[in-house]
Amino acid sequence: MPRTRGRAPAGGRADALSREVVVGAAVELLDEHGERGLTFRLLAERLSTGPGALYWHVANKDELVALAADHVLGHALAEVPPPTDDAVAGLRTLAVTVFDALDRHAWAASRVTAPATLANALRLFDRIGSLVARTGLPAERHFEVSTAISYYITGVSAQIIAPGLTVSPATSREDFLARTADRWEALDPADYPFLTRTTANLRDHDDRDQFTTGLDLLLTGLNATTEPGRPA
């Protein structure tokens, strides 16, 4: 749990630290160096303080990164265009907007978790649920379908954006895919009949299309289940 944070510090420094300031600086560092490159010493230096000071505002590194990811998610949600009449279309835009935001902050993708606990993850799930509720689906299915969509957004985004969560921000996605395609090409077609046939697709596929392909499959499935009900 967070420590209490008051107003302007009584006897402290002018540019007072706060949880927001710490998290904001962490986002910058995370963008620059990835999760492993974020260090309490480095962050402290950036904020002209000692490492110990940061622990007054966040419990530990896990919490710090989680808060930073939730911060990114917050920006994403703020960008989501207002919903129209078509609830399914609304779900699609919501999902894609979140994907795009995470794509700009690869480290965050694997940190937005799906049984939501932080403020913006909660908001995301609530928005999904509200849209699902307007879909015509019977009420007893609202929860499971919302969860499925929510899992899809966070889980698949993470897979696409930060596969293995280990690749340093140095290696570009293109390099990674190109190297993988090379490896596929070298395989024996007898063992991997499908793989060896589709190498070309891997080389020039688009990440974002990949995300929407599965999403549309899911939403089509949803429509197919809803059909007999009312429209909006």
Partner DNA sequence: ACCTGAACACCGTTCAAGT
Give contact residues for DNA (rule: CB under 7 A): 3-6, 9-13, 16-17, 38-42, 48-53, 55-57, 60-62
Helix (H) or strand (E) holding 93: helix 87-103
Element holding 51 (H helix, E strand) = helix 51-54
Contacts with 106 (C-beta within 8 Å, 6 or more apart), sequence order: 34, 161, 162, 169
* Residue 48 binds which of DNA, a second copy, none (CB < 5-8 A, kind-dependent): DNA
- Which residue's CB is nearer to a second copy, number 53 or number 133? 133
Q: How far is the CB of 194 from a second copy (least distance, A)?
A: 3
- How far out from the chain centre does Cα 163 lie? 13
Q: Which residue has the tokens 């590194």?
A: 61
Give the Cα separation of 218 and 199 in Å (integer): 25
Pick the piece of the chain touching a second copy (CB under 8 A) from 6-14, 23-31, 76-84, 121-129. 121-129
Q: Report in angstroms how near the CB of residue 21 gets to DNA at its nearest.
A: 8
| Contact between 74 and a second copy per CB under 8 A | no
163 binds a second copy (CB under 8 A): yes
Residue 174 binds which entry of DNA, a second copy, none, CB below 5-8 Å type-dependent: none
Sign of the torsion formed by the C-alpha atoms of 151, 157, 158 and 159: positive
Please choose which of DNA, a second copy, none residue 186 contacts, taking the beta carbon within 5 to 8 angstroms, the exact cut-off set by kind: none
Cβ pair 80, 123 in contact under 8 A = no
In the list 3, 220, 229, 231, the residue contacting a second copy (rule: CB under 8 A) is: 220
